[in-house]
Amino acid sequence: MLPAEGTIVPLVTPFDGLDRIDSAAVGRLVAHLLEEGADALMPTALTGEGPLLSGAETEAMWEATFAAAAGRVPVAPAVIATTTRDAVRLARRAHAMGAAAVMAAPIVPELYAGRSRSDVRGFIEAVADATPLPVILFNYPTLTGVDLTPDFLAELADVPRVAYVKESTGDSRRVHAIHRRCEGRLEVICGNPNAALESMALGCRLWITGILNVVPREARAMLHAVTREGDLRLARAIYYECVLPLVDLMFDTSNPTGVIKAGLRARGVDVGIPRPPGSDLTTADRARLARLAPPA
């Protein structure tokens, strides 16, 4: 079961010098994040370069994550698949490994058009039927080619085991709209760092975003400032000083994964660099990052 409140860190995927998943580095990453207070873990999401992993690599990353977590926190793997068959297989594999939930998205590989609503619903129903696990829907239209609008989500909330949506459009008004249409049937997870504070203030109690790898303790403190202490002034201070400067760098460089991995290295956790065609940060950008993410 996922926590009722907290941070779910979408793990980066460490690669070694031969572009293979580095299981030892996964263990070090998980140990660091748990020490810093992460409430749950999500391997192979977009931050984990999930679309660039083969099926075998996806499962290898899951195995390394579950082994490192050792039951201390929930693990909710991301199922990013272009076919229903692959998504169902991966969902069943996640369940067999002991997952608390799965996040699923039907990726559109072709460029001609998006999926029809009936096709998207069919994909989600098949994944939800495959296991007894709660399903997190992933709304990131620029990645998936599918926009889970509030009206569409009101329909999908009727699918058994669909329990959450990771809302990643960056439009905080969606949080209001989903709450109004779904009437408590679907929990909204904050999924975009640029709208995080607003989303929390509007009722999001869970947060999934890549920058949590770099500032897990600070992000958790920000969430608690809103949800437990009702201290928006403290939340703003953390957001403006610790989170948004890193987010700005991610977008300035057009290299989010590079920033996140370099940020982890700056904090003493070597997770390698992004898989090509991704790349490491330039020397100048690493210097800028060093001022934003000093060693823990």
Condensed to tens digits (0 to 9), the pLDDT of residues 74-105 reads 999 999 998 999 999 999 999 999 999 999 98
Q: Looking at residue 105, what is its pLDDT?
A: 87
What are the φ and ψ backbone dihedral angles of 33, each rounded to 5 degrees?
A: -65, -40
Instruction: Tell me the percentage of the chain whose pLDDT exceeds 70.
Output: 97
Average pLDDT for 36-63: 97
CA distances from 43 to 58, 65, 97, 222, 224 (A): 8, 7, 13, 23, 24
Q: Looking at residue 65, what is its pLDDT?
A: 98
C-beta of residue 47 within 8 angstroms of C-beta of residue 83: no
Q: Looking at residue 111, what is its pLDDT?
A: 58
Rounded distance, CA 180 to CA 173, Å? 11
Instruction: Tell me the percentage of the chain whose pLDDT exceeds 90.
Output: 90
Rounded distance, CA 40 to CA 26, Å? 15
Place of tokens 């003493």: 268
Condensed to tens digits (0 to 9), the pLDDT of residues 12-23 reads 999 999 999 999
Listed in sequence order, the DSSP H helices in the chain are: 23-35, 55-69, 84-97, 117-130, 141-144, 150-156, 173-182, 196-201, 216-227, 232-238, 244-253, 256-266, 283-292
Q: Looking at residue 145, what is its pLDDT?
A: 85
Domains, in order of start, for the chain = 6-231 (3.20.20.70)
Q: Looking at residue 92, what is its pLDDT?
A: 98
Helix 283-292, helix 244-253: angle, nearest 10: 170
